């Protein structure tokens, strides 16, 4: 009788292992199908990928830094221009202001 019980438990354990393997296969297939479906939906929505977003974000940061540097340069040039006397801003033409 002991051998019959062992055979029954062995068969039950093998069936359980087979069922677990099938369930795991079904889960992998479902995950794959779900992933493909999600990618298709996101593709239809024209959503930007994370890598593209990060690259664009870096480009914007660099452009902003360059813009700030150019603003500072323009301000410095304007300050130098305003600091010069009025007569040097507009050079006198020939014969104008020359001793006579």
**Domain coverage including residue 71:** 48-84
The answer as to whether 58 is a domain residue is: yes
The answer as to whether 100 is a domain residue is: no
pLDDT band at 100 (very low <50, low <70, confident <90, very high): very low
The answer as to whether 41 is a domain residue is: yes
Q: Phi-psi region for residue 88, left (φ > 0), alpha (ψ -120 to 50) or beta?
A: alpha
The answer as to whether 95 is a domain residue is: no
pLDDT band at 86 (very low <50, low <70, confident <90, very high): low
pTM of the model: 0.43
Number of folded domains that form the chain? 2
Task: Kindly state the tokens that stand for 74.
Answer: 């323009």
Length of the chain: 100
The answer as to whether 98 is a domain residue is: no
Q: Tens digit of pLDDT for each residue in 1-55?
A: 455 678 888 888 888 888 888 888 999 999 999 999 988 888 888 888 899 999 9
d(CA 44, CA 47) in angstroms, rounded, equals 8
The answer as to whether 14 is a domain residue is: yes
The answer as to whether 57 is a domain residue is: yes
């Amino acid at each position: 009788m002991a051998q019959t019980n062992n055979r029954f438990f062995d068969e039950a354990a093998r069936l359980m292992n087979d069922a677990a393997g099938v369930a795991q296969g079904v889960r992998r297939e479902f995950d794959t199908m779900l992933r493909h479906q999600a990618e298709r939906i996101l593709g239809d929505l024209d959503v930007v990928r994370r890598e593209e977003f990060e690259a664009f974000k870096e480009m914007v940061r660099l452009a902003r830094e360059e813009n700030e540097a150019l603003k500072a340069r323009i301000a410095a040039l304007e300050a130098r221009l305003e600091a010069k006397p009025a007569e040097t801003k507009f050079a006198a033409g020939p014969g104008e202001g020359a001793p006579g």
